[in-house]
Amino acid sequence: MFTRRTLIGALASATLLATSSLSFAADKVYIPLISKGFQHQFWQAVKAGADNAAAELNVEITFEGPDSEAMVDRQIDMLAAALAKNPAAIGFAALDSQAAIPLLRQAQSAGIPIIAFDSGVESEIPVALAATDNVAAASLAADKMAELIGKSGKVAVVAHDQTSRTGIDRRDGFLNQMKNYPDIEVVTVQYGGGDQLKSTELTKAILTANPDIKGVFGTNEGSAIGVANGVREMGSKDVVIIGYDSGRAQKDAVRSGLMAGAITQNPVGIGYETVKAAVMASQGKDVPSNIDTGFYYYDASNIDDPEIAAVLYD
Instruction: Please write the tens of the pLDDT for every residue from 173-208.
Output: 999 999 999 999 999 999 999 999 999 999 999 999
CA distance 270 to 253: 25
Question: Average model confidence (pLDDT) for the chain?
Answer: 91
Q: What DSSP string runs through 126-148?
A: SSEEEE--HHHHHHHHHHHHHHH
What confidence score (pLDDT) does residue 151 get?
Answer: 98
End-to-end C-alpha distance for the chain, whole angstroms = 63
Tell whether the model's pLDDT for residue 4 goes beyond 60. Answer: no
CA distance 244 to 187: 20
Could you tell me which residues come within 8 angstroms of residue 55 by beta carbon, excluding any fewer than 6 positions away?
A: none
Reported pTM: 0.83
Residue scoring higher pLDDT (13 or 98): 98
> Any idea which of 15-29, 172-186, 249-263 has the lowest mean pLDDT?
15-29
What confidence score (pLDDT) does residue 18 get?
Answer: 40
Q: Which domains does the chain have, with CATH numbers?
A: 11-132+267-293 (3.40.50.2300), 134-264 (3.40.50.2300)
Mean pLDDT of 112-134: 96
CA distance 292 to 269: 10
What confidence score (pLDDT) does residue 28 get?
Answer: 83
- Cβ-count burial of 77 within 10 angstroms (0-12 exposed, 13-18 middle, 19+ buried)? middle
Tell whether the model's pLDDT for residue 231 goes beyond 70. Answer: yes
Counting every residue, how long is the chain?
314
Tell whether the model's pLDDT for residue 225 goes beyond 80. Answer: yes
